[in-house]
Amino acid sequence: MQMINESLGGNFVLVGFSDQPELEKILFVGVLISYLLTLLGNTAIILVSCLDFTLNTPMYYFLTNLSLVDLCFTTSIVPQLLWNLHGPAKTITAVGCAIQLYVSLALGSTECVLLAIMAFDRYAAVCRPLHYATIMHPRLCRSLAGMAWLSGVGNTLIQGTITLRLPRCGNYRIYHFICEVPAMIKLACVDVHANEVQLFLASLVLLLLPLALILVSYGYIVQAVARIRSAQAWHKVLGTCGSHLLVVSLFYGTITAIYIHPTSSYAHSQGQFLTLLYTVVTPTLNPLIYTLRNKDVQGAFRRLFSKHSIIGQ
């Protein structure tokens, strides 16, 4: 505890994009618009999934969890980012930095596992359609969602605490716009090789293992559809799985670059832009991806709005 208290003594400076003041003004507007869209889109999905009984299925149960994760994830990061982009003060309190580190890491880890669970759900829907209701029964869905949340909490308690216990020797300038494990490790004034190995191993478990499960699930899906040799079947599977695949590509394509090679990623400014993609842009796009071509969600929105318009009359 003494080492944690030493690490938390004093404010941190989030350097972020301070060397590019003109870019900060553009980013402020872009991040603000993106955050508002994230709040609107994900809240809408949560509400319509809870209020429309036709969306009472495992797929939309997990989608609701994903929207909740995205809402909390961006909220743990964006308000502080907007504050730093808006004015010259780039500081964050030590307690605020620790909270941001714990919360964002927990929710990011939860999303990794949740996306793998959603891939398994798509596998069951396509490859085991006759047994889908039996396989994905409500108790299993609740257990899987709970496992995702617990894995996120467990990971952040381990990684976050280890990172905060590192001695900083007066180093307080974080060359990033958020308190994130790879950036925080760079503040340490001791050999952090063991920490980097530990971060890499944790990334294998919570990044690459879920990604491998996603690829296996879609491998079975492709194999099952290939046997049918029907264009209509491919079109149906693409409609069923396309949104999830796109979300996985956006999220994993950026977060793996940060956590699998943290040293190389943070040696260049590209690391900050990659982090912007999975912390700000992806949560904004997820609701759009899941609703633009999803007739079930679109129909639920229409029924919900028509119901309210009738009540209003």
Confidence of residue 292 (pLDDT cuts 50, 70, 90): low
Greater confidence (142 vs 301) lies with: 142
What CATH number was assigned to the domain covering residues 2-306? Answer: 1.20.1070.10
What's this model's pTM, rounded to 2 decimal places? 0.87
CA–centroid distance for 34 within its chain: 15
pLDDT tens by residue, 166-191: 888 878 888 889 998 888 888 888 88
Residue 8 has pLDDT above 80, yes or no: no
Q: Is 174 helix (H, G, I), strand (E, B) or coil?
A: strand
**Model confidence at 83: pLDDT above 60:** yes
* Domain residue ranges of the chain, discontinuous segments joined by +: 2-306
Dist. CA 195–CA 161, nearest whole Å: 12
What phi-psi label fits residue 171: left (phi over 0), alpha (psi between -120 and 50 degrees) or beta?
Answer: beta
pLDDT of residue 265: 47
Q: Is 173 helix (H, G, I), strand (E, B) or coil?
A: strand
Given a cut of 60, whether residue 92 has pLDDT beyond it is yes
- For the stretch 295-299, contacts whose Cβ atoms lie closer than 8 Å and that sit 24 or more positions apart, written own/partner, are 296/54, 296/55, 296/60, 297/45, 297/48, 297/55, 297/60, 299/54
The torsion region of residue 169 among left (phi > 0), alpha (psi -120 to 50) and beta comes to left
pLDDT in tens, 222-275: 888 888 777 776 777 777 788 888 889 888 888 887 777 655 544 446 778 888
Q: What are phi and psi of 41, to 5 degrees?
A: -65, -50
**Residue in the block written with tokens 């028509």:** 306
| 26: nearest Cα among 214, 267, 263, 273 | 273
Helix H or strand E encompassing 13: strand 12-14
Q: Give 148's pLDDT tier (boundaries 50, 70, 90).
A: very high
**More confidently predicted of 9 and 211:** 211
| Higher-pLDDT residue of 232, 50 | 50
pLDDT, mean over the chain = 84
Least confident span in 99-108, 142-151, 202-211:
202-211
